[in-house]
């Protein structure tokens, strides 16, 4: 596989809090469309999960995809909160026949019940959307070790204890966030996480190895997420799309280097203006970035509403495989400096034509 393939992975666990029908899913759909322009491929974790936690325990179960998985609703979460959940185990006297005596291991009130799935997106995607694939999450010894190391550190974090005072809920959020971050770091892909799970990484005040990815496009053209899937597919088919993505990567790297604690929106706009001048010889101001697209800096890494993904420490990129789709894959480290023509400008123009000027 091409070594500079840029991939975004969208796992279930690290997005479980936000995978709700209605406005949250509409927001995720916009981010996936933005990611379709910024990344070569987008990988969605297949199937579904049921995650329940409370003061006295936690239960997590996989949900196979049988064509009936649907996005959880806010009402379903609301009515389950406060109800009790149980886990009982027993030894079968006859194989296949329920045990006569059961021992209760968990009996707890429900604090959270999250049922994340991304499968419903498959039913809305046209055949032209061939860059979005469903994959399974890898489990290797190296990923497990990294996850455990990070989890032990994060469980001692006072900021997370204050944010998530209930131990089993905190354990679920920390464990899920660190597991998905470990997968992304070892495989070499960017990972999308919701705000609840990004708080785990944001609490590591000394950790500067992680960086935001995919944030330039939604700042430059916030309305890309409003295009329909067919329009996104048409724009992606432009012959200069790969060059356009390299430009976006350069803009993001320049922004991260120059605006660690500054005005991200202005830095992105100025970087794009410099690239346009270099390509066309014209000096054109892109105007002000809408405040709705604001990105915030936090805890030494850039996190915020316009951040599509997070890229991990290069030192961990190794031999894990994210399903069969990305076996042996490694994203480009740094920014490609290959020769390119001015074709990327026409991609930018086509995006503006489809979304309207800022």
Series of mean pLDDT values for 10-residue runs along the chain (358 residues): 75 96 93 90 95 93 86 93 80 71 80 95 91 90 93 91 94 95 90 90 67 78 85 89 87 76 74 80 55 37 50 56 33 31 75 68
The per-residue pLDDT for 285 is 55
The per-residue pLDDT for 20 is 96
DSSP H helices, 259-333, are 264-280
48 forms beta bridges with 63, 117
The per-residue pLDDT for 357 is 47
DSSP H helices, 259-319, are 264-280
Q: Are 246 and 340 within 8 A, CB to CB?
A: yes
* Cα 253 to Cα 181: distance, rounded to the nearest angstrom: 20
Which tokens hold the place of 45? 């974790």
Torsion sign across C-alpha atoms 349, 354, 355, 358: positive
Q: Are 88 and 104 within 8 A, CB to CB?
A: yes
Q: Are 196 and 30 within 8 A, CB to CB?
A: no
Q: Are 354 and 227 within 8 A, CB to CB?
A: yes
* Cα 192 to Cα 184: distance, rounded to the nearest angstrom: 10
The per-residue pLDDT for 6 is 87
The per-residue pLDDT for 261 is 55
Which pTM was predicted? 0.81
The per-residue pLDDT for 90 is 65
Sequence-ordered list of residues with C-beta below 8 angstroms from that of 149, at least 6 positions apart, any chain: none
9 forms beta bridges with 43, 191
User: What is the end-to-end Cα distance of the chain in Å, rounded?
Assistant: 37
* Cα 256 to Cα 216: distance, rounded to the nearest angstrom: 11
For residue 49, give the nearest of 98, 103, 13, 2 by alpha carbon. Answer: 13
The per-residue pLDDT for 333 is 23
The per-residue pLDDT for 143 is 93
The per-residue pLDDT for 210 is 74
Q: Are 225 and 199 within 8 A, CB to CB?
A: no
- DSSP string covering 2-51, please? -TT--EEEE-SGGGTTT-BTTHHHHHHHHHHHHHHHHSSEEEEEPSEEEE
Angle (CA) 236 320 178, round 5°: 90
């Amino acid at each position: 596989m091409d070594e500079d393939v840029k991939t975004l992975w969208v796992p279930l666990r690290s997005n479980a809090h936000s995978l709700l029908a209605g406005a949250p899913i509409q927001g995720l759909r916009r981010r996936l469309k933005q990611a379709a322009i910024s990344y070569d491929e987008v990988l969605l974790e297949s199937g579904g999960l049921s995650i329940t936690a409370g003061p006295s325990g936690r239960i997590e179960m996989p949900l196979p995809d049988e064509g009936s998985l649907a996005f959880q609703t806010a009402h379903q979460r609301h009515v389950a909160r406060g109800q009790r959940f149980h886990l009982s185990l027993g030894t079968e006297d006859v194989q296949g026949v329920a045990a006569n005596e059961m021992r209760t291991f968990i009996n707890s009130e429900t604090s959270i019940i999250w049922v994340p799935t991304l499968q419903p997106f498959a039913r809305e995607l046209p055949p032209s959307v061939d860059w979005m694939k469903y994959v399974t999450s890898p489990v290797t010894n190296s990923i497990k070790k990294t996850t455990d190391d990070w989890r032990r550190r994060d469980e001692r974090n006072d900021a997370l204890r204050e944010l998530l005072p209930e131990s089993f809920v905190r354990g679920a959020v920390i464990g899920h966030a660190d597991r998905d971050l470990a997968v992304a770091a070892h495989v070499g892909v960017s990972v999308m996480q919701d705000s609840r799970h990004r708080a785990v990484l944001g609490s590591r005040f000394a950790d500067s190895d992680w960086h935001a990815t995919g944030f330039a496009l939604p700042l430059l053209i916030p309305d890309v997420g409003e295009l329909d899937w067919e329009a996104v597919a048409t724009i992606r088919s432009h012959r200069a799309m790969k060059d356009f993505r390299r430009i976006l990567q350069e803009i993001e790297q320049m922004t991260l280097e120059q605006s660690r604690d500054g005005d991200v929106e202005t830095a992105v706009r100025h970087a794009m203006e410099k690239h346009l001048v270099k390509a066309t010889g014209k000096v054109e101001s892109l105007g002000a970035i809408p405040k709705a697209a604001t990105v915030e800096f936090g805890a030494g890494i850039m996190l915020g509403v316009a951040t599509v993904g997070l890229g991990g420490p290069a030192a961990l990129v190794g031999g894990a495989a994210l399903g069969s789709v990305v076996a042996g894959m490694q994203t480009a480290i740094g920014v490609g400096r290959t020769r390119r023509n001015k074709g990327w400008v026409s991609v930018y123009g086509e995006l503006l034509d489809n979304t309207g000027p800022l």
